[in-house]
Amino acid sequence: MSQVLTSVGRQSTSSPHIAGVVPTLGGRLGAKRDDLFRHCQAGLGLASTPPQDTPTVFVIDDDVTVRESLKLLITFAGWRPETFGSAQEFLARPRALVPSCLVLEVSLPDVNGLELQERVAADRVEMPIIFITGKGDIPMTVRAMKAGALEFMTKPFDEQALLCAIRSGLEQSQTALGQNAEIHALRTCYASLTFREREVMGLVVSGLLNKQVGLRLGISEITVKAHRGKVMQKMKAGSLADLVKAGERLRHAPPVRTRTGTLNAGGVR
């Protein structure tokens, strides 16, 4: 995926085809918008349907001309665009499993863009947000940036600046998805431990020796060694240092919400 993002980055900033082809964002493409879109696709050799693992750029704007202009620009850059006229339409879409970012208009007909930012930050932390607006002010910009927005742009904005922001957002998303996958794998391994093995792991990673663990749990040192061996195997740890790192990552990982409650970082209720 990193190769995809790298190649796209080169195209989006240097391709002579992009500059001047896409109308000024916020302007009107006219009645032959779809014909222009298909013509440009053919001229640039773009696939009509990008591969499923292509990074996705979501666009939410109630102005159809802005949505179509951004759709064209994003497609030229080699990413998959998905456009929505309202926040509710976007929220009804299942969570993306590929690197993604959100280009979001602040003023929307249903949910305010800043309110939507709060929901995305809680449920889709791997999706950076780039705000666009035609009615921005300093307090609004400060609020959005403090809440974690990647960029805040006022219409009309520079296409290359937007492409750079999107590329940065997709790179951040890719990193976050990779970290989430690693945490999920660690949680799966941890869930395979027995209750006693979890006790042993907790004491071992805290720095206690096998003899001290045995005294704490009321079991022999030989039994501790046996449990420790099973823990190392199940956690896929090649050394004590690896096991300690795994324990730290689990301890600092965000909690998991389930139907029956909230699990802590280690997966223990």
- Is the confidence at residue 7, as pLDDT, over 50? no
- Per-residue pLDDT tens for 125-152? 889 999 998 876 778 888 889 988 999 9
- Is the confidence at residue 18, as pLDDT, over 50? no
- Per-residue pLDDT tens for 223-252? 999 999 999 999 999 999 999 999 999 988
Structural domains of the chain sorted by starting position, each given as residue range(s) with its CATH number in brackets: 2-178 (3.40.50.2300), 193-263 (1.10.10.10)
In this prediction, residue 213 carries a pLDDT of: 96
Q: What distance in Å separates the CA atoms of residue 71 and residue 58, rounded to the nearest whole number?
A: 9
Confidence of residue 163 (pLDDT cuts 50, 70, 90): very high
Backbone angles phi, psi at 77, to 5 degrees: -75, -10
In this prediction, residue 157 carries a pLDDT of: 85
Residue 256 contacts residue 263 (beta carbons within 8 Å): yes
In this prediction, residue 162 carries a pLDDT of: 95
Which pairs from 171-176 meet CB under 8 Å and 24+ separation?
A: 171/5, 171/99, 172/101, 172/128, 173/55, 173/99, 173/100, 173/101, 173/126, 173/127, 173/128, 174/1, 174/2, 174/5, 174/55, 174/99, 176/125, 176/126
In terms of DSSP bridges, do strands 256-258 and 261-263 run parallel, antiparallel, or are they unpaired? antiparallel
Q: State pTM to two decimals.
A: 0.71
Higher pLDDT, 115 or 39: 115
- Per-residue pLDDT tens for 174-223? 999 999 899 999 999 999 999 999 999 999 999 999 999 999 999 999 99
- Is the confidence at residue 36, as pLDDT, over 80? no
In terms of DSSP bridges, do strands 80-84 and 56-60 run parallel, antiparallel, or are they unpaired? parallel
